Amino acid sequence: MAADKHASVHWEGAGKTGKGQVSTETGALKDYPYGFASRFEDDKRGTNPEEIVGAAHAACLTMAFAFALEKEGFTATRIDTKAAVRLAKDGEGFKIDRIALELDAAVPNLEEAKFQQIAAAAKAGCPLSKALASVPEITLKATLAG
């Protein structure tokens, strides 16, 4: 079942003044711009690696949670997940030092304790959580909607 998924980047210029474009094989991102300003400043005209990692992690957790619910005999009517990825100074460079995940779901007939257990297991089992295990802090705030 293993299958490679592909993405590519084209970059021109120096680090601070250069510009890049990110593309994915599905076309979800097609020559999407990124650069210094969209990564280290507040320029919203492009993306950055950290928000792409956050989106991927949130998507992975959401799907893992949906599968975990199904395995336990539950189905969510909705799942909304957010990720905040923090890029911090690390000596002469940078590192991702925290990912804060927030999962909010409506799951009929599921008690809070079981919900938290399933959410924590989904976070631990999510392939992106495993891939990002070197991040010192990955938190999950899971909220079961009433």
Amino acid at 27: G
pLDDT given at position 2: 85
Q: Which residues pair with 106 in a beta bridge?
A: 78
Query: Can you give the CATH number for the domain in which 57 is found?
Result: 3.30.300.20
Are 59 and 25 contained in the same domain?
Answer: no
In this structure, how many other beta carbons lie within 10 angstroms of the beta carbon of residue 92? 5
Block means of pLDDT (10 residues each) for the chain, 146 residues, are 92 96 95 94 92 97 98 98 96 96 98 98 97 96 93
**Domain carrying residue 111:** 49-144
Count the domains in the chain: 2
pLDDT given at position 1: 75
Give the Å distances, CA to CA, from 95 to 39, 57, 134: 13, 17, 10
